[in-house]
Amino acid sequence: MYFIANWKMYGNIKSLNTLNKVIKFSKSKEIKKGRLIYCPPFTLIIPFFKKFQNCLIDIGGQNCHENDDYGPHTGFINSKMLKNSGANYVIIGHSENREKGETNKLINQKIKSAIRAKLKVILCIGETLEEKNKGKTKLILSKQIKLCLDKINKKATLFIAYEPVWSIGTGKIPKTKELENTIRFIKSKFKKKMPKILYGGSVNPKNIYNLKMIKDLDGFLIGGASQNSKNFIDIVKKTYN
């Protein structure tokens, strides 16, 4: 199972000390088959990479520009720069960026660029509360999958993180049946190479007991709870116990 920490716009150089516990845990037998990946803000990618040099914890970015090459794009970094800093993964299409105008088409261009840079892509999809209440969840997810993955290299390693927007940072998670049904629906959209499927949205050491029972999940994309090493470790431990 994959446990991907999305630190969003949190963390500073002092946060490095908090990683010692996780590094120790990653070398212990307790980690079982858990794979840990940290996606810190851009400023911390290189320090995290250095910190994780002697363990198996991997690194990802939280977004990238759609252009492969260097260019006059103030405030942005591209997939090649992420790869060059030590990242092997990148989160693309997070709802917090979609809210700010990131379209499925732009996300598609970013994914293609990330694949060319040999990054593993974690594509976020999910419906808003309004869309859910109107019964549009499947329609929205289908559209996001179709447009974001249009003409991408079929051999690329892909993760789909289902993150219902209404669940992010709210403490609310979907009902078991509902979530299983949605995961099954997402999987039905892939005929050839099946992506790894993650769930994200308010995952914490308490609700992990329910979430780990969900069929066909390959892991979790964890926001708030991942910034506290104890909570992050607890989530992994409880998934296997």
Q: Is 131 a catalytic residue?
A: no
94 labelled catalytic = yes
Q: Is 201 a binder of ligand 13P (CB under 6 A)? A: yes
Q: Which of 66, 96, 127, 163 is catalytic?
A: 163
Count other C-beta atoms under 10 Å from residue 15's C-beta: 18
Which region among 21-29, 136-144, 186-194, 199-207 touches ligand 13P (by CB under 6 A)?
199-207
Asked if 179 is part of the footprint of ligand 13P (rule: CB under 6 A), the reply reads no
127 binds ligand 13P (CB under 6 A): no
* DSSP characters over 183-200: HHHHHHT-SSSPPEEEEE
Residue 221 touches ligand 13P, criterion: CB under 6 A:
yes
Residue placing its CB nearer to ligand 13P in the complex, 109 or 207: 207
| Residue 172 binds ligand 13P (CB under 6 A) | no
> Is 163 a binder of ligand 13P (CB under 6 A)?
yes
60: helix, strand or coil:
strand
Cβ distance 139 to 130 under 8 Å?
A: no
Shortest distance, position 57 Cβ to ligand 13P, whole Å? 17
Q: Is 202 in the site for ligand 13P (CB under 6 A)?
A: yes
Give me the amino acid identity at 127. Answer: E
**Strand intervals (E) in the chain:** 2-6, 35-39, 58-61, 89-92, 120-125, 158-162, 196-200, 219-222
Q: Is the Cβ of residue 63 or residue 202 nearer to ligand 13P in the bound state?
A: 202
Report whether 68 contacts 117 (CB < 8 A): yes
Question: 134 is written with which tokens?
Answer: 């109107």
CA–CA separation, 66 vs 40, rounded Å? 20
Task: Identify the active-site residue in 94, 131, 178, 180.
Answer: 94
Among 224, 228, 231, 238, binds ligand 13P (CB under 6 A): 224
CA distance 72 to 75: 9
93 binds ligand 13P (CB under 6 A): no
Please give the residue ranges that form the binding site for ligand 13P (CB under 6 A): 6, 94, 163, 168-169, 200-203, 221-225
